[in-house]
Chain A
Amino acid sequence: MSKIRPVALIVIALSWACVSVFGQAGDNAELPLPPQAPAPGNGIPDFNGIWQAPYTPDLARAYGGPLPFTPFGADKFKSHLGGDDPHGYCQPTGPSRAVHSPFPFQIIQSAGMLTVLFEIDHTFRRIFTDGRPHPKDQDITWYGDSIGRYQGATLHVDTTGVSDRSWLDTAGHQHSDKLHITETFTKTGPDAIQWTVTYDDPVYFTKPWSVSLAMKRQKYDIMEMICTDNNQDMPHYITSKPKP
């Protein structure tokens, strides 16, 4: 063990040096590291840890072209003002925008549930894996209701009831509360998850469309990020909303 450790440390150091060069992270010896979680076992893929997806402020770029808008959806996108972005006012991101934000998140798997602790806005998301259906007479909420099921190396997630007050991304892509999000989290390596998200919203889009991003395990623990702490931007937005 003691012979392996120096080699392992060198490999880790070299890999992180490469990451630094490519701009994923620098190095800060004063930052805390995440706790080590045991594998969940029972054939369930282990998603525990700190992860981050590539920051994707414009989903159309990741999709590879204009989104399949309905006329209503196209008009809403064309006429939107960046200063109307709810997150500019520190309102919640909704369930999927937090995943491709420029902030990491922690996944914790427990009996019947997978919890995502998002650094962005210090919020969380729960995905129930105990076999329950979506609730009847579901309330419309910022993060909606997420249920999941494991299949091999993949967690399939189904989310409904997401408030139309959230935006899908920073570029101004919006949705209705008829939005149906399906996601797959596939463990493709010890430090890699392939995340594919599909948006189906008949009010805004003519057909379902998908984006797939490669998440990587992160070195540092998540940190506190309270958006309302010093939101100096609000008075300066070009917006249709009343000035605060």
Chain B
Amino acid sequence: MRAEWHIRASWAAALAGCMVAAFPALAHHSFAAEYDQKQPVSFTGVVAKLDWMNPHVYFYVDAQDKGGAVMHWACEAGNPNALARRGWKKTSLQAGDRVTVEGYRAKDGSFTMNARSITMADGKKVFAASSDDGGPLN
């Protein structure tokens, strides 16, 4: 019971934080170095893999385009250390999870994107990231 409350409190703290503040996450490079503010992308698919690694968490999502072809998206999230300090864990998003991802595509046209919003099938948002990098706010 107590453990459950703790988990809920962590979620609440993390969500409160992401509503109030723009979280820094892309110290490593500026948004404009890689991503295009004029190319917002959104898709729903299944997480194939999560790399909880520095300097950025990457997760890979298989999603179908309008024609039914499978797109393999590489999605950049925040920094794992910063995410851990906000209560997120590498188990917060796992292979097999169905997610809706919103963000911005890489300027080079590859299936690479900067994830600004990650929503689980039950509506919970995870890995609140990555602002104050010169890119659009969450």
A231 lies within 8 A of B24 (CB):
no
A102 within 8 A of B: yes
Q: Does the CB pair B27–A103 fall under 8 Å?
A: yes
* Known A27-B13, A170-B27: A232·B76 in contact at CB below 8 Å: yes
Q: Does B46 make an interface contact (CB < 8 A)?
A: no
A90 within 8 A of B: yes
Q: Evaluate contact between B27 and A102: CB separation under 8 angstroms.
A: yes
Q: Does residue B93 face the partner (Cβ distance < 8 Å to A)?
A: no
The residues of B that contact A24 with a CB separation of less than 8 Å are 21
Asked if B106 CB lies within 8 Å of chain A CBs, one says yes
Give residues 208-242 of A contacting B (CB, 8 Å).
220, 223-227, 229-233, 235-239
Cα separation A233 to B22 with both chains bound (whole Å):
22
Judge whether A223 and B81 touch: CB under 8 Å: yes
A residues in contact with B134, CB < 8 Å: 57-58, 82, 170-171
Q: Chain B residues near A223: list those with CB within 8 A.
A: 81, 84
Count B-side interface residues using an 8 Å CB cutoff: 48
- Residues in chain A near residue B73, CB distance under 8 A: none
A13-47 vs B, Cβ < 8 Å mask (1 yes, 0 no) = 00001001111111111010000000000000000
Which of A55, A229, A231 has its CB near the most chain B CB atoms (within 10 A)? A55
Q: Is A76 located at the chain interface by the 8 A CB criterion?
A: no
B11-38 vs A, Cβ < 8 Å mask (1 yes, 0 no): 0011011101111111111111110000
Chain A residues, Cβ within 8 Å of B23: 23
Chain A residues in 8 Å Cβ range of B20: 21-23
Residue of A nearest to B109 (CB): A236
Please report the C-alpha to C-alpha distance between residue A88 and residue B133 in the assembled complex, in whole angstroms.
Answer: 13
Known contacts A102-B82, A237-B29; A23 and B54 CB within 8 A of each other: no
Interchain CA distance A101-B107 in the complex, whole Å: 25
- B79 near A: Cβ within 8 Å? yes
Report the bound CA distance from A231 to B108 in whole Å. Answer: 17
Kindly state whether residue B10 has any CB partner on chain A within 8 Å. yes
Does A83 belong to the interface (CB within 8 Å)?
A: yes
Q: B54 and A87: CB pair below 8 A? A: no
Using a CB-CB cutoff of 8 Å, which residues 40-98 of chain B contact chain A? 51, 53-56, 58, 74, 76, 79, 81-82, 84-89
A residues 82-132 with Cβ under 8 Å of B?
Answer: 82-83, 85, 87-88, 90, 101-103, 119-120
Fill in one digit per residue for A170-183: 1 if any B CB lies within 8 Å of its CB, else 0: 11100000000000
Please state if B51 and A225 are interface contacts (CB–CB under 8 Å): no
Partner of B53, one of A27, A229, A239: A229
Q: Which residues of A contact B (CB under 8 A)?
A: 17, 20-29, 31, 55, 57-58, 81-83, 85, 87-88, 90, 101-103, 119-120, 170-172, 220, 223-227, 229-233, 235-239
